[in-house]
Amino acid sequence: MQRIGRVAMISLHTSPLDQPGTGDAGGMNVYVVELARRLARQGIEVDVFTRATSSSVDPVVQLADGVTVRHIHAGPFEGLTKNELPGQMCVFAREVLRTEAMFPVGHYDVIHSHYWLSGQVGALAADRWGVPLVHSMHTMAKVKNAALADGDAPEPAQRVIGEEQVVEAADLLVANTGIEAGQLLDLYDADPARVEVVHPGVDTELFRPLGPAARAAARAARGIPQDAIVPLFAGRIQPLKAPDVLLRAIAVLLDREPALRERLVVPVVGGPSGSGLEHPTALADLAAGLGIADVVRFVPPVAQDELAEWYAAATLVAVPSYNESFGLVAIEAQAAGTPVVAADVGGLGTAVRDGRSGLLVADHDPSTWATAIGRIAADPAFRDRLAAGARRHAVRFSWDATAAQSLAVYQRAQELMRSSAA
């Protein structure tokens, strides 16, 4: 079996250096960074190709030992939406090929592309370099369009066709969960022999339970009373992530129990993204319209170490998304020992153990969500049992395991490419 020495990762539309929680940066950014770092620790060099979005960024940035981010100039630095990026794929692909041409033949052993735009470029590069293409969808247009949030725009036909082409071109497809693997088979007619399930991981050292004193300090540093009930949302503010469901649930909860208002703090950690950029104040306007602006706090996106403290300060973390391929926020919160209330959609059924590490909610009805949140808020013993179960569940997911399984996928992709060429 040929050893994997160098991996070319392609993340066209969002850089691993971007701050998760705003713009197009989210769980996929964390995934690319952590996978690349863990592969590098195993002696594998990783180059991440991404589109430059500022003239101030260096063309080449060392993210970590063995991990290099290469910024490709393709189109204007600012002002391009994700839906406009297909027009820059040819330029981006040309520059990726030009970069590889500076090295000896056979420099990269495998390409791992992330999201369909990157998969289109990866398919071209794989053909040119004679190496296998491994692709991770992360999200899929057909899945998103089947469960659109109110007011959200459907993904365009261009993306659907592009995804179908990438599924056909890839030597192997990586799915985050068995549910996602099934969606690739059912919706995209993927070959079952070319789909592998590899769970994302979590940094259990960074996201870990804090003792009572440290949790008290985390609350004090954020001006949160020690006896407060704190349902937290973390992520990009857009209809797909459904932070409005949490706010509407809080309004229902306060109608049922007005006395909770004195103890309730609802942090929303993140920034507008996607179609949420069209109305960046929509969530604040909703809070005001619901009469709960006094209990809601809007917090700009924060670095991972600070996010860990927000999780520690929370009573629970709400993940009301209409779809998630896995749900890294859910697994991070649980690793920090914080129960999660999540929509029972997509990969969240894998990321959360209902009744053991959190609660899964079958719909997006604010009344149902208010009941789930109120159940945890009203029963500290139940909350503590979920918190203990949350940590036990989360430690089953490690980035080291993700990297080891991804490496096995790369090697299998090499074997498949050789056998098909024989």
Q: What is the pLDDT of residues 207-265, one digit of tens each?
A: 999 999 999 999 999 999 999 999 999 999 999 999 999 999 999 999 999 999 999 99
Phi and psi at residue 51, to the nearest 5°: -80, 135
Lowest mean pLDDT among 146-150, 213-217, 306-310, 336-340: 146-150
Which element (helix H / strand E) includes 311?
Answer: helix 304-313
Q: Is 311 annotated as a binding residue?
A: yes
Predicted confidence at residue 324, as pLDDT, reads: 94
Segment 338-354 mean pLDDT: 97
Predicted confidence at residue 78, as pLDDT, reads: 80
Other C-beta atoms closer than 10 Å to the C-beta of 236 total 23
d(CA 295, CA 169): 50
Residue the block writes with tokens 């160098």: 6
Nearest to 317 by CA among 329, 307, 325: 329
Q: What pTM was computed for the model?
A: 0.93
Q: Is 28 annotated as a binding residue?
A: yes
Q: Which DSSP state fits 210?
A: P
Q: Delimit the CATH 3.40.50.2000 region(s) of the chain.
A: 6-201+398-421, 212-394
Q: Is 7 annotated as a binding residue?
A: no
Predicted confidence at residue 348, as pLDDT, reads: 96
Distances in Å between the Cα of 70 and the Cα atoms of 49, 96, 371 are 5, 9, 48
pLDDT at residue 1 is higher than 70 = no
d(CA 263, CA 319): 21
d(CA 33, CA 394): 19
Asked whether 121 and 92 are in contact (CB, 8 A), the reply is yes
- In a 13 Å sphere around the CA of 90, the CA atoms on its Cβ side amount to 1
pLDDT at residue 90 is higher than 60 = yes
Instruction: Encode pLDDT of 21-76 as tens digits.
Output: 767 778 899 999 999 999 999 999 999 999 998 888 899 999 999 999 999 999 88
Torsion of CA 130, 163, 40, 71, to 10 degrees: 90
d(CA 397, CA 221): 30
Q: Is 145 annotated as a binding residue?
A: no
Q: Is 417 annotated as a binding residue?
A: no
Instruction: Encode pLDDT of 275-284 as tens digits.
Output: 555 667 899 9
Which element (helix H / strand E) includes 287?
Answer: helix 282-290
Q: Is 13 annotated as a binding residue?
A: yes
Lowest mean pLDDT among 54-58, 212-216, 346-350, 374-378: 54-58
Count of residues in the chain:
422
d(CA 279, CA 330): 26
Class of domain 6-201+398-421: alpha beta
Predicted confidence at residue 274, as pLDDT, reads: 60
Q: Is 139 annotated as a binding residue?
A: yes
Q: Is 236 annotated as a binding residue?
A: yes
Q: Is 314 annotated as a binding residue?
A: yes
Q: Is 168 annotated as a binding residue?
A: no
- Is the pLDDT higher at 297 or at 54? 297
Greatest alpha-carbon span in the chain: 73
Q: Is 102 annotated as a binding residue?
A: no
Asked whether 27 and 199 are in contact (CB, 8 A), the reply is no
Predicted confidence at residue 346, as pLDDT, reads: 93
Q: Is 79 annotated as a binding residue?
A: no
| Pairing of β 296-299 and β 110-114 | unpaired
Nearest to 8 by CA among 73, 78, 95, 87: 95
Beta bridge partners, 67, equal 46, 64
Q: Is 405 annotated as a binding residue?
A: no
- In a 13 Å sphere around the CA of 118, the CA atoms on its Cβ side amount to 27
Segment 334-352 mean pLDDT: 97
Class of domain 212-394: alpha beta
Nearest to 332 by CA among 354, 355, 356, 357: 357
Q: Is 51 annotated as a binding residue?
A: no
Task: List all residues 6 or more positions away from 271 whose beta carbon is below 8 Å from its beta carbon.
Answer: 21, 22, 23, 236, 237, 300, 301
Q: Is 27 annotated as a binding residue?
A: yes
**Per-residue pLDDT band at 422 (split at 50, 70, 90):** low
Average pLDDT, the chain: 94
Q: What is the b/e burial string over 12-28, where b = at least 16 CB atoms within 10 angstroms of the residue's CB?
A: bbbbbbbebbbbbbbbb
Which spans in 152-261 are helix H?
157-169, 178-188, 212-221, 243-256
Given phi > 0 = left and psi -120 to 50 = alpha, else beta, which region is 6? beta
Q: Is residue 203 classed exposed, middle or buried when 0-12, 13-18 and 19+ CB atoms within 10 A define those classes?
A: middle
